[in-house]
Structure formats: structure tokens, C-alpha cells
Amino acid sequence: MASKLTRSNRAGWLMAFPGIGLIAAFIILPFFLAFAFSLTNQRLASPNPTEYVGFKNYRDLLGLAVFTLEPERDDAGNAVVEDGEIQYPRLRTFTRRNPDYPHLEGKREWFSWQSGENRTVVLASDVVFMKALVNTFTFVLVVAPVQAGIALGLALLINQKLRGISFFRAVYFMPVVVSIVIVSLLWKFIYSPGDGLLNNVLSGLTFGAFEPRDWLGDTSTALGSIIAMSIWQGVGFHMVIWLAGLQTISPTLYEAAEIEGSSKLQTFRYVTWPGLRNTAILILIVITMQAFALFAQIDIMTQGGPLDSTQVLVFQAVERGYGKQDISGGSTISVILFVIVLCISLIQRWLTRERN
């Protein structure tokens, strides 16, 4: 007799349908559509027919070139200097319809540096995308270790048997329960220029010596401000995961270490940390994924500004796909993000593999 599970096939599929259907419609289908769109010139709404364009979208995003500008020279062959600065030909003379430099066509300056008399310029097809890429990596590289570290510290603190410890557990976990949108709005007030909370507190602590600043409106502080706030918001979640990991470590291991005269630091090194290995892998991967998906904070607090200093990949994808109706451009960014996250996950898995 067939088992009940295989006999009631139709009922089973019927019950699974709502779930599978929603996942298919909103996750699986868009996932493959993004790959397809990234190879076309599809727009969100356009009367023109969609055309296959190959990897043009990728070239438009990832195109890079390095170009060395030589200074303008006078008749004697010396560099022309005006007001103490060496004069160079205008970059656009090379990048705009110059048949001698087809690889520079349409590219713009991303950054440059001086080497001797010459100036080396790195040009990008899409400077905004490049900034988003760098900002996203900066965000991930700062948030992953710092957030994981603080979360572990908090977990060690609240793992003690003290009276009222649940109060602290609740306090640290609270930001996680609050929607990121609300948190972002609140922090916008905290960061607001002039008499915002942060400015007030800082000038209070320094007896007025601190100059109030526009935290989100300044290119040097905007990304840092968003990083700080994001770490604060997510740290409670990872603290709970660490805590779960800590509580799987057998108390007798600590007692054995105590009898051997192990100091607090040695106990952490030889008992706690090795026992948290799997938890650490999980947390690192989860934080990395979450950090790459950074969007809501940017959308609410800075919209990528000022001067693209807080542009990030997901925000760019949404901005392009819906803001500029360039759905193929947005899809291309999504695919690139997917490949980046995939590579990093594989590398992390390889680095943290069980060595036996």
C-alpha cells in the first residue's frame, strides 16, 4: 500500500500552492527575469520594442579605463603653469567623440592622482555605480566585524546569572523589533543639523566646545552616521544568536577549565570561542548578506546624497529600475550584487570549512 503522503498528492499540492505560488511569483520568477532583463534594453514602460543588447548593460556599469594626462606644454617643451598649478588639456576632449580614443568614449573621471608632471585619471562608464560599489563594500567591511564583535560582547554580558538580566536582554533586543523605517526616521532627528540630539549631547559633554555639524549632509560623515545607526539597530539580533551559541557550551567544560586554573581570558580562548565556531560562521554570513542588502536607511535618510557619498548598490538598483524606469539597468545591478554575494559566501564557506 502506498503511503498516505504519496496517495494524497493532489491535496498536498493544493495546500502547498499558495506558498509555492507566492514564492514563485515574487522570488523565483523575478530572479530569472533579472538575468534576462540585464541582457536587454527593457524599460519599465516604453512604446519601443525590447531588444537584445548582449552585455552592453554590464559594460555600461563596469567599464573602467586608466588614462594618463600629459600637461600642456609651451614652445620650449615646459609644462604650462598658471597660479602654481600645472595645466592639463580638458579631459572631455578625449572622451567626447575623439576617434583616437574610442575606449574612453562616454567615460567620466572617477578619481585621479598626480605622478610627476603627469596626472593619472581613472575613468568609469558609470561613476555613480562605482561609488555605490565602494560604499557598499565599505559598509560591509565595517559593519560585519564591528556588529559581530559588539553583539558577542553584549551576549557575554547578558549570559551571566544576575538579577534582572532579562531587563537588559530586552533593552538590547528592542531596536530589532522596531521597524527599520521608524528607526531611520528617528535617527534622522538625532542626526539633524544645528540642535539635533547628537549635536546637543556632544556639545553638552564638551561644555560647548563641540561645533554642531550636519551629520547626514556632510560627505565626510554621512556614510559613517548610517553605519553607526545600522550597527545599533541590528546588534541585538546577532546578540541573541551568539547567546544561543553560548548556551550550547556545556557548563562542565567551564568547570573543568576552572579546576585547571584557567583565567577569564584563557577560558574565552580555549573554551568559549572554539565552542562558538559554528555560530560565528552563521553570524558572519548573515551580517554580510544583510549589509549588502542595505537600502531602507539610505532611502529614508539620505537618498544616496550628499554628492553620492551614500550611494549603495540596492538603492541604485531601485533608483534606476523604478526612478529612471530603466528596468534593465536595475536588473543588471541586481545580478552583479548576486554574483558578489555568492562569491563572498563561497569564500567564507571555504575559509571556515572543517579542517580534519
Residue 252 binds another protein, judged by CB under 8 A? yes
Q: What SS3 class is residue 116?
A: coil
| Cβ at position 354, least distance to another protein in Å | 11
Interface with another protein (CB under 8 A), residue from 167, 185, 255, 324: 255
Question: Which of the 8 DSSP states describes residue 40?
Answer: B
Interface with another protein (CB under 8 A), residue from 123, 124, 183, 271: 271
Q: How many binding residues for another protein (CB under 8 A)?
A: 19
Residue 114 binds another protein, judged by CB under 8 A? no
Interface with another protein (CB under 8 A), residue from 71, 275, 305, 306: 275
* Residue 220 or 278 having the CB closest to another protein: 278
- DSSP states of 232-256: HHHHHHHHHHHHHHHHTS-HHHHHH
Window contacting another protein (CB under 8 A); options: 128-136, 191-199, 251-259, 309-317 = 251-259
Residue 160 binds another protein, judged by CB under 8 A? no
The Cβ of residue 152 has, within 10 Å, a number of other Cβ atoms equal to: 25
Total residue count of the chain as it appears in this document:
356
Do residues 335 and 35 touch, judged by C-beta distance below 8 A? yes
- DSSP states of 46-79: -SSPP-B-TTHHHHHHH-EEEEEEPPPB-TTSPB
Using CB under 8 A, which residues numbered 277 to 316 contact another protein? 277
CA 288 vs. chain centroid, Å, equals: 8
* Residue 19 or 261 having the CB closest to another protein: 261
Interface with another protein (CB under 8 A), residue from 166, 219, 250, 303: 250
Distance CA 236, CA 35 (A): 35
Q: What SS3 class is residue 65?
A: strand
Residue 349 φ/ψ, nearest 5 degrees: -65, -40
* Residue 155 or 271 having the CB closest to another protein: 271
Interface with another protein (CB under 8 A), residue from 128, 156, 253, 344: 253
Distance CA 265, CA 262 (A): 8
Q: How far, CA to CA in Å, does 156 sit from each of 246, 252, 283?
A: 8, 17, 15
* Residue 114 or 263 having the CB closest to another protein: 263
Interface with another protein (CB under 8 A), residue from 15, 81, 256, 346: 256
Interface with another protein (CB under 8 A), residue from 167, 260, 307, 342: 260
Interaction site with another protein (CB under 8 A): 250, 252-253, 255-263, 266, 270-271, 274-275, 277, 356
